[in-house]
A = this chain, B = another copy of it.
Amino acid sequence: MNIEPTFREQLIDAGILIPLGVDGVWGRNGVFEAICAGLEHAISEAGLNDAPEVMRFPPAMPQDYFEKSGYMKNFPHFAGTIHSFDGDERGQHKLLGQMARGEPWMEQQQPAGLVLTPAACYSVYPTLARRGPLANVGALVDVYCWCFRHEPSLEPTRFQFFRMREFVRVGTVAQVMAFREDWVARGKVFATSLGIPFEVDIANDPFFGRGGKLMADSQREQALKFELLVPINEGAGPTACMSFNYHMTHFGETWDMRTEDGEVAHTACIGFGIERLALAMLRHHGFDLDLWPVDVRAFMGFGTKVSKSVGSVDAVEA
């Protein structure tokens, strides 16, 4: 009996994902990164006319930003805190002995004041808030960040570390709602240009615990979150590759962000899951980038010989 390899096995066999021995933690090869660079290019182009302000953040954020965000109320199971050793040589000697004997050795690791970033936009709000009241036109930010969610999984679409690109809008309720509505439409055009099948549906976040069900229901009832879903995994529902989120005044109140008129600011963000979009492309167009449809290749800014130059992230032409 022949058993068809799964998409996950195909990705590993082709060397596109490099297993590291931890579920959901992968290395990537040049083909995968060329697709990610192409997606970055296409997203930049899609947002270019809006002239967003560019902000880039490292993979972690300050502990006080994280605490204030309320993340541990909603998703404590996903967070990753960073700890470091501040012992002396005696402490190090003890630690190395524990490690050599295969014992736990991390009891001397102390909180380092940093938490892995769970969503790209989290550092945007305090950064904007520090500047004082918004201008009349509000704010629009283009942000990109490595994110972490501690949810080890065998599904190739569930990375513990992944990159998230976002456009973040801050302003009056009218500005923010118009932005999200516009981007739901633009998201559909974007996915159509990528040549992948999709549907857009109302969604909810995976809130923690029994109380989480209530929060999820409320989020759906208020239509706060939409997702663009693409079939990727065999025998499973489609995967959210983009999301369109309205936060009402949650971040405005948290960071005391004010509009020009002194009202609490509303916020919304459009998120692109880079790894998931890359997997969607591989799933629907195959592993040989040279054989992808010409218009898709053009949309992603690929040159004529991307497969020859995947040794470089510069496979994408500006």
Residues in chain A within 8 A of chain B (CB atoms): 18, 20-22, 25-30, 32-33, 40-41, 44-45, 47-48, 51-62, 64-65, 67, 72-73, 76-89, 92, 95-96, 99, 104-106, 109, 111-114, 116, 123, 126-127, 142, 144, 146, 148, 150, 159-162, 208-211, 301, 303, 309-318
A26 to B161 Cα, complex, angstroms:
20
Residues of chain B within 8 A (CB-CB) of A21 are 62, 64-65
Most buried by B among A40, A45, A59, A61: A59
Given contacts A51-B311, A104-B111, A150-B112, contact A77 B67 (CB under 8 A): no
CB contacts (< 8 Å) of A27 on chain B: these are 55-58, 123, 127
A32: which B residues are within 8 A, CB to CB? 56
Interface residue from B47, B77, B92, B142 paired with A84 (Cβ < 8 Å): B77
- Return the chain B residue nearest A65 by Cβ: B20
Main secondary structure of the interface of A (DSSP, over half): mixed
Is there an interface contact between A79 and B72, defined as CB atoms closer than 8 Å? no
Task: Give the nearest-CB partner of A116 in chain B.
Answer: B82
The minimal Cβ–Cβ distance linking A56 to chain B, given in whole angstroms, is 4
Query: With the chains together, A170 CA to B312 CA distance in Å?
Result: 20
Cα-based distance from A84 to B77 in the complex (angstroms) = 7
Complex Cα–Cα for A96 and B88 (A): 32
| CA–CA, A211 and B96, complex, Å | 14
The reply to whether A60 and B25 form a contact with Cβ atoms under 8 Å apart is: yes
* Docked pose: A129 CA to B113 CA in angstroms: 35
Cα-based distance from A26 to B88 in the complex (angstroms):
28
Are A83 and B84 in contact, with the CB atoms below 8 A? no
Partner of A314, one of B123, B146, B301: B301
